[in-house]
Structure 1
Amino acid sequence: MAPRRLPGLLRWLSIPLLTLAVPLGFAWWAFPSELAPLRAAGIVAGWLGGGLLMVSLLLMLREPRLADWLGGLERMYRWHHTTGVLAYVLLLIHPLALAANGLATSPSFAWQTLSAFDGGWPVWTGWLGLVVLMVGLATAFSKKLSYGVWRWLHAGLAIGVLLGLIHLVLLGIDEPVLPIIAVVALIVGWRALRGDLGLAARPYIVAEVQPLTEQSVEIALRPLGQPLAVAPGQFLLVAFYRGPNYRGCGEFHPFTVSSVERGDMLRIAVKALGDCTRQMLTMPRGVAARIIGGFDSVFAHHGAAPQLWVAGGIGITPFIGLLRAGPVPAPTTLLYLYRHESDAAFLDELKACATADPRLTLQLEATGDALPDLKRLLPQTAQLSGVECYLCGPPGLIKGARAMLRRRGVGARQLHSEKYEFR
């Protein structure tokens, strides 16, 4: 049975309220009195930054129920990045404000406040925590690092948080720091054991691998125990391990459910985008897999209003999942963009669906190596009145389509998209 969903407004407000409540609670508890303004500002900035880091750590958990409460895993990761960056800025302001306060005494005193060379372990641990956070944030936005290397470097953010808390303990601030350390250890341990090591995952086995194009396949997964409760259009985190003549990378990657069949067998579409997914193109039957999910998706809750679906490349997967589940509930236009016909997954099946369902209009466009002409391809303003728009594909396509649709009068609440990029 699917978990009971929170009301829409509460789900939308959940992360903003959390992002405000935790750091403001820290700042309220530690708010200094009878101190110079710059010194007080430096202390408050430090506690605000620490609170935002706590929120950032919480938002990296991969728990389906938590993700449902907070509006989806993709939304959690966007806020995880935002709160992490804001936390680092505030934590950097912390020593700078304290040093600026020292300028009232003398430049030498200000430098002693700022310099790690003139301090002891309390100062050293604070600066080391900032450096570790800086390295972690720098790697967080790197697209050139392999996923495995990026994951371990990004884990350094938790070490930076712990160093910052040790910095407070060495300064003699035991409360509420020691309980906070326990909470941080719980969050990090929970993520490591249930997420990275897969203790929250269910065992599956590869039952079939069906080629879609030269660079994509559809993989059927059969449960080996209690199956997951998922629906087409939702997405999963899947890690492939060993099988006959195959050794998987064992890393969890997001994949959209393209169908749920008898016997609770799942199908996912995979496109070769890196070393790990490229290896999946030649995956044999019998490979062991572990799955975490299913995670909610905007594509799994489309209503009865007229709809526009825009898919780019393998972004067609959630839409094929919805079409396999039954006829569309309202007049729907599907714009499917791909470079060449040989790159288009599910093309014959999509044509058959459009032939069988009079409510579905299929618009196919091979763009070659050029950017798609969205001005020509997307409906005009008069045709978009009251239409719900669902977008899935490369980030550049989603950004361009959203901008064009907004210029043509589509409101923000009518635009639904997810990138499924969790790094």
Structure 2
Amino acid sequence: MVFQTFEDQRAGRDPREVPGFWDEPGLNRGVPRGDIIVEAPENPTGWQGSGPSIATDDRPPSEATSGNRLLTVLLFFAGLATSLALWLFETEAGAVNDTATLMMAIGRITGLAGGYVLFIQLLMMSRVSFLEEWVGARDLLRWHRWLGTSLVVLVGAHVVFIIYGYALTAETGVVDQGLTMIKTFPNMISATVATGLLVFISFISIRTLRNKLNYELWHLIHLTGYLVLLLGYGHQVAMGANLSGKFADIFWPGLGALVIAALVWGRLIEPLWLNSRHGFRVAEVVAEGANTFSIYIDGRNLEKLPAKAGQFMRWRFMTRNGWWQSHPFSLSAAPNSQWLRLTVTAVGAHTALLAQMRPGTRIWAEGPFGTFTAQRRTRRRALLIAGGSGIAPIRALLEDMPADTIVIYRASRPDELVFREELEDLAERRDAWVRYIVGSRNDPGPRRLFTPEGLLGLVPDVNRRDVYLCGPPGLVGAAVQTLHELDVPASQMHLDPFEF
């Protein structure tokens, strides 16, 4: 086996490069895996393409979504300000004149803000494809989590301040006042249940707890967020002193109608149209490697499917044991007019059963989703980093990338490497580079990969490339930290971590 540093002839090499980092003497002494080697007769774990590049438009696409994100943030805060203005419009001057009225005013303001944030949360859960294309899937997920925490805080503050304000007015205890309000105020029982559901959803969304739940259970619990809206809306209308008046009579129902329309469109109409148009079915299931297999899918009019390499779709396989659950799987090959391909690693009961599906099995699909695509590229060259089953969208993306693309593929064992032949064929045709980093996280190569010196040793011009990262959150997080240390702008990082 021959060790090779990433010595290249590209112009503008970063002066921080450490020559020979990957071929230090004794780097692999006693370690049969875990480092980069070029193609060799025994256990090859590296490949450099050298063939003619396929013609491709090498112009950097326009800046991705920064302007869209800014406009979305401005619209969000404009809507929030409008919601809070309802209290100002409907509150007479001098109405807040003591501690009790101040507490109730704070309670009403936080209640209005909480109601608005709940509507926005559900809007982000609507799966309307326009939202993901406009903002970006990762930003939507990050905002969804941030707003979820904010929603719990706002609703909690609303409950505490309102009860305390009424208790001061009635000159009674807080607990007694709270029980009285639940028993006597209209729609308070349903509002109490909604609050309890909201707290529970937020509790199980804490990362350490979420990671202990299987995806199906977590997703089912998360869907109860719709009940929060249904149970809480009556309380908002019945008790919302600031939800009456000409403007409020238009704004609040209009916001609710917008959210419901988005949910119906994204969750019902778009999927119905997609599946009636394409009629997806399983064509073949093919083993790829250790616990990994590909599902080939055929259908009608696949050339009209608006999917891009790197995107994912939600797939519901209509089998006896799997029809009731859908899972997100990325396309592992660029879409074409003949077939689609997913590549799955069996990590649970559901994914293990998928390997046993028969040709002809019907599929219900939703999507495509995600902005992990070549169209988001902002530089002329790219670096693709995959960890484990994250190779699926990376493999697809390589078909859409320009010449001189570098692929780094991280795996724990050699038998976990999939698509080697395809990757090397694409590298040969596109004049790309593929580097395999194989071994446990304690082996020299993997340990040094996500250090500034190690990554520069492989990709000297990394801060002049777009970087696409897909894999477990730990790998993506380590890579992002290293990229920050190497002054790679956030606008050049495109992330697709495996998390929900």
Q: Considering fraction of residues, name the structure with more strand.
A: 1
Q: 1:367 aligns with which of 419, 426, 439?
A: 439
Q: CA deviation at 1:118?
A: 6.4
Contact 2:403 2:430 in 1 (8 A): no
Q: State how 1:390-409 maps to structure 2 within 5 Å.
A: 390-409=468-487
Q: State how 1:6-405 maps to structure 2 within 5 Å.
A: 8-31=65-88, 32-33=91-92, 34-35=95-96, 36-69=101-134, 71-101=135-165, 108-115=172-179, 119-122=183-186, 123-141=188-206, 142-171=210-239, 173=241, 175=244, 176=249, 182-183=257-258, 185-190=260-265, 193-194=268-269, 198-202=271-275, 203-224=279-300, 227-242=304-319, 248-260=322-334, 263-301=337-375, 302-325=377-400, 328-358=401-431, 360-368=432-440, 370=442, 372-373=446-447, 374-375=450-451, 377-379=454-456, 383-405=461-483
Contact 1:206 1:219 in 2 (8 A): yes
Unpaired runs of 5+ residues, structure 1, are none
Q: CA deviation at 1:241?
A: 0.8
Q: CA deviation at 1:16?
A: 2.1
Residues in 2 aligned to 1:356 and 1:154: alpha-carbon distance in whole angstroms: 45
Flag the 1:257–1:352 CA change in 2: closer, same or farther, 3 A: same
Task: Indicate the SS of the match to 2:333.
Answer: strand
Contact 1:351 1:362 in 2 (8 A): yes
Contact 2:280 2:363 in 1 (8 A): yes
Bigger shift: 310-319 or 282-291?
282-291
Flag the 1:118–1:310 CA change in 2: closer, same or farther, 3 A: closer
Q: Residue type matched to 1:231 in 2?
A: K
Residues in 2 aligned to 1:350 and 1:311: alpha-carbon distance in whole angstroms: 12
Residues in 1 aligned to 2:463 and 2:64: alpha-carbon distance in whole angstroms: 26
Q: CA deviation at 1:57?
A: 0.2
Flag the 1:136–1:188 CA change in 2: closer, same or farther, 3 A: farther
Task: Indicate the SS of the match to 1:82.
Answer: helix
Poorly superposed stretches of 4+, deviation over 6 Å: none
Q: Residue type matched to 1:335 in 2?
A: I
Task: Indicate the SS of the match to 1:229.
Answer: coil
Which of 1 and 2 has higher RCO (CA within 8 Å, sep 6+)? 2
Work out the number of aligned pairs and report it: 409
Flag the 1:370–1:286 CA change in 2: closer, same or farther, 3 A: farther
Q: CA deviation at 1:95?
A: 2.0
Flag the 1:134–1:116 CA change in 2: closer, same or farther, 3 A: farther
Flag the 1:277–1:200 CA change in 2: closer, same or farther, 3 A: farther
Q: Residue type matched to 1:275 in 2?
A: A
Task: Indicate the SS of the match to 2:488.
Answer: coil
Contact 2:402 2:430 in 1 (8 A): no
Give the alignment's TM-score, normalised by structure 1. 0.85
Bigger shift: 54-63 or 168-177?
168-177
Percent sequence identity is: 25
Q: CA deviation at 1:392?
A: 0.7
Bigger shift: 90-99 or 136-145?
136-145
Contact 1:18 1:55 in 2 (8 A): no
Contact 1:194 1:200 in 2 (8 A): yes
Flag the 1:148–1:347 CA change in 2: closer, same or farther, 3 A: same
Give the alignment's TM-score, normalised by structure 2. 0.73
Q: CA deviation at 1:194?
A: 4.6
Q: CA deviation at 1:400?
A: 0.9
Flag the 1:406–1:128 CA change in 2: closer, same or farther, 3 A: same
Q: State the Cα deviation string for residues 352-374 of structure 1 (Å, max 9, x = none).
A: 3334443x222111123648322
Contact 2:301 2:337 in 1 (8 A): no
Q: State the Cα deviation string for residues 263-313 of structure 1 (Å, max 9, x = none).
A: 342112222233222211222211111222222423332355232221101
Flag the 1:390–1:180 CA change in 2: closer, same or farther, 3 A: closer
Unpaired runs of 5+ residues, structure 2, are 1-61
Residues in 2 aligned to 1:150 and 1:201: alpha-carbon distance in whole angstroms: 26
Flag the 1:206–1:367 CA change in 2: closer, same or farther, 3 A: same
